[in-house]
Amino acid sequence: NAGVTQTPKFQVLKTGQSMTLQCAQDMNHNSMYWYRQDPGMGLRLIYYSASEGTTDKGEVPNGYNVSRLNKREFSLRLESAAPSQTSVYFCASRQAQSTDTQYFGPGTRLTVL
């Protein structure tokens, strides 16, 4: 099992460009999450998907959209990137509402110039 995979690992964008971060899990988990990690601020929840077909906003959803393509895949889209979106992005998955443990991907380091 690969666990949670994310692509790309690194990306540099110019202000105003768009891109999609991909996340996939092979553990048959129901819930998936997108976080951003900024220095001194820990992880902040952008969006999550409690189950296939549902998505909800987290703490910092502005400037992002998500798609739960199927049970395995959960993508994060930046429609018009801004320098404030420079961050490390982590995807995570969790089996069900009754379980606590999240499993994290290796992260995507995004720089917006």
Partner 1 sequence: GDSVTQMEGPVTLSEEAFLTINCTYTATGYPSLFWYVQYPGEGLQLLLKATKADDKGSNKGFEATYRKETTSFHLEKGSVQVSDSAVYFCALRYNFNKFYFGSGTKLNVKP
**What are the residues binding partner 1 (CB under 8 A)?**
4, 31, 33, 35, 40-45, 48, 50, 56, 58, 90, 92, 97, 100-107
Q: Are the C-beta atoms of residues 45 and 55 closer than 8 Å to each other?
A: no
* Residue 57 vs 77, nearer CB to partner 1: 57
Query: At residue 35, what are phi and psi to the nearest 5 degrees?
Result: -125, 155
* Residue 5 vs 67, nearer CB to partner 1: 5
Cis before 8? omega within 30: yes
In the bound complex, what is the minimum distance in angstroms from residue 30's beta carbon to partner 1?
A: 10
Single-letter code of the amino acid located at 32: M
Q: If you ran DSSP here, which 8-state letter would residue 83 be given? A: G
In the bound complex, what is the minimum distance in angstroms from residue 44's beta carbon to partner 1?
A: 8
